[in-house]
């Protein structure tokens, strides 16, 4: 799973990236800080409690385990995640994040990092456009007074760049494509479009959707070889929507007027996206305070609490800083970043979590690790599909699967549910 952060310079992409991946990247109040994309991993809380909760309940009931003690630093969790953590049965799941810089006017024409930038985007499963909800920077990222630029303009600017990029790709083979349509009809059009665009992440389904909407918008299209540039640009916009649906972080919400993102929010939602107001700055401050041991701030929490160390060692200035941060969080309902990512994965990408294990009794892998992996899979994935996402050999040798919660054998084509624990039996 790979999610890209994109947007004009100086909106808070690198701040979001640094906060979410807890890594250090350059952050500055001037344009063009980032040249190459930063790639890192963030850990998002799973929606459902980790299955190690069920293990604990069963063992406590059988008298094999004492109830969780208040000094247990893991809050009762019994699993042993290979990546991420699990505290009080709140399991975190790794997601790759990319801070893709280089959006400048004319990127589709090769300006700035141009096509390299656009290619970086096409590697992502979903894109988050970070916009400056406070309107304090112009379209090139230069600081200007707050409220002097509208966030909706940033959104329109990006979708325009993406659509024009697609238009350029289509145009370069249009004559050849049209010949194919003359020979093969609608099927040829679909094959041509998907062939041209599969390199930037299109699928036949996406192209089909785009074509349906495109035809609904225009009554009298005529034959493709008569389509002029404006019709082809319109087609490119529909393809953009299908291939690069955008979600939006309305960032710097802490200094924006309430409601300054309302019209953009409506627009994004009518385009099938999600908008969440965010404060990347606050998330970064919170992650740092948590890393230093001053506060408890589990990922996705709407606010924080002071730790014992925080209570005893913070100086007055630090305490004041945290107090105002807490007020801000109450006002905004959290920093929004983890909420946005989680909603994209659940609502836009339609992912559920599955836990493959080798031993259906102990829920361990071959080395005795309890519930080692939490995998994000598309809703509708079958048990055999899960086998393939663990390893292609496991998929090729698939014999059957076992639902480790019930002990029942399940067939290759059975669809998984969120939070399933699955043993796969395969020929080796």
Ligand X SMILES: Nc1nc2c(ncn2[C@@H]2O[C@H](COP(=O)(O)OP(=O)(O)O)[C@@H](O)[C@H]2O)c(=O)[nH]1
Q: Which does 341 bind (CB under 5 to 8 A by kind): Mg ion, ligand X, none?
A: none
Closest CB 369 distance from Mg ion, rounded Å: 37
**Nearer to ligand X by C-beta: 28 or 258?**
28
**Nearer to ligand X by C-beta: 101 or 181?**
101
Applying CB under 6 A, the residues found at the interface with ligand X are 7, 9-15, 27-29, 33-34, 251-252, 254-255, 279-281
Closest CB 41 distance from Mg ion, rounded Å: 18
Distances (CA, A) of 277 to 158, 184, 252, 349, 350: 18, 47, 8, 20, 22
**Nearer to Mg ion by C-beta: 26 or 217?**
26
Residue nearest to Mg ion (CB): 14
Nearest-5° Cα angle at 80, 77 to 86:
45
**Nearer to ligand X by C-beta: 281 or 373?**
281
Per DSSP, 125 falls in state S
- CA-based nearest residue to 419, from 65, 89, 61, 24: 89
Q: What distance in Å separates the CA atoms of residue 400 and residue 414, rounded to the nearest whole number?
A: 10
Closest CB 158 distance from ligand X, rounded Å: 13
Closest CB 116 distance from ligand X, rounded Å: 17
Q: Which does 11 bind (CB under 5 to 8 A by kind): Mg ion, ligand X, none?
A: ligand X
Closest CB 146 distance from ligand X, rounded Å: 10
**Nearer to ligand X by C-beta: 34 or 260?**
34
In the three-class reduction of DSSP (H, G, I as helix; E, B as strand; rest coil), residue 181 is classed as helix
Half-sphere CA count of 164, side-chain side, radius 13 A: 15
In the three-class reduction of DSSP (H, G, I as helix; E, B as strand; rest coil), residue 320 is classed as helix
**Nearer to Mg ion by C-beta: 84 or 102?**
102
- CA-based nearest residue to 338, from 97, 9, 26: 97
Q: Alpha helix (H) ranges present in 68-202?
A: 114-122, 151-171, 174-184, 186-197
**Nearer to ligand X by C-beta: 84 or 277?**
277
Work out whether strand 275-277 and strand 420-426 pair parallel, antiparallel, or are unpaired. unpaired
- The answer to whether 372 and 80 have CB atoms below 8 angstroms apart is yes
Closest CB 4 distance from Mg ion, rounded Å: 13
Distances (CA, A) of 216 to 204, 209, 221, 231: 18, 11, 10, 13
Closest CB 279 distance from ligand X, rounded Å: 4
Applying CB under 5 A, the residues found at the interface with Mg ion are 13-14, 33-34
């Amino acid at each position: 799973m790979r999610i890209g952060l994109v947007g004009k310079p100086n909106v808070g992409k690198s701040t979001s990236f640094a906060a979410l991946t807890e890594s250090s990247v350059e952050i500055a109040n001037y344009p063009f800080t980032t040249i190459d994309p930063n790639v890192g991993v963030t850990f998002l809380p799973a929606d459902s409690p980790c299955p190690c909760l069920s293990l604990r309940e069963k063992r406590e009931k059988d008298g094999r385990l004492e109830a969780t003690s208040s000094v247990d630093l893991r809050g009762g969790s019994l699993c042993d995640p290979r990546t991420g953590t699990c505290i009080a049965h709140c399991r975190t799941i790794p997601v790759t994040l990319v801070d893709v810089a280089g959006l400048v006017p004319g990127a589709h024409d090769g300006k700035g990092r141009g096509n390299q930038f656009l290619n970086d985007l096409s590697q992502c499963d979903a894109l988050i456009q970070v916009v400056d909800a406070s309107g304090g920077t112009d379209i090139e990222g230069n600081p200007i007074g707050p409220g002097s630029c509208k966030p909706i303009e940033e959104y329109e600017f990006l979708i325009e760049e993406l659509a024009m990029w697609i238009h350029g790709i289509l145009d370069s083979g249009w004559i050849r494509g049209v010949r194919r349509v003359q020979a093969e009809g609608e099927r040829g059009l679909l094959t041509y479009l998907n062939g041209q665009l599969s390199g930037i992440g299109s699928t036949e389904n996406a192209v089909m959707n785009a074509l349906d909407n495109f035809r609904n918008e225009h009554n009298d299209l005529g034959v493709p070889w008569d389509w002029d540039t404006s019709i082809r640009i319109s087609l490119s916009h529909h393809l953009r929507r299908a291939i690069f649906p955008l979600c939006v972080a309305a960032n710097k919400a802490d200094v924006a007027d309430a409601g300054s993102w309302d019209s953009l929010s409506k627009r994004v939602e009518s385009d099938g996206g999600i908008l969440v107001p965010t404060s990347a700055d606050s998330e970064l401050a919170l992650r740092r305070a948590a890393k230093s041991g001053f506060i408890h701030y589990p990922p996705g929490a709407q606010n924080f609490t002071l730790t014992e160390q925080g209570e005893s060692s913070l100086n007055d200035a630090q305490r004041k800083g945290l107090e105002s941060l807490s007020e801000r969080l109450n006002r905004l309902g959290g920093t929004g970043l983890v909420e946005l990512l989680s909603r994209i994965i659940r609502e836009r990408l339609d992912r559920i979590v599955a836990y493959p294990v080798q031993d259906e009794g102990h829920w361990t892998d071959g080395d005795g690790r309890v519930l080692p992996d939490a995998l994000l899979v598309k809703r509708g994935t079958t048990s055999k599909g899960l086998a393939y996402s663990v390893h292609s050999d496991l998929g090729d040798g698939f014999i059957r699967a076992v639902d480790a919660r019930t002990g029942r054998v399940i067939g290759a084509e059975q669809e998984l549910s969120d939070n399933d624990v699955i043993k796969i039996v395969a020929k080796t």
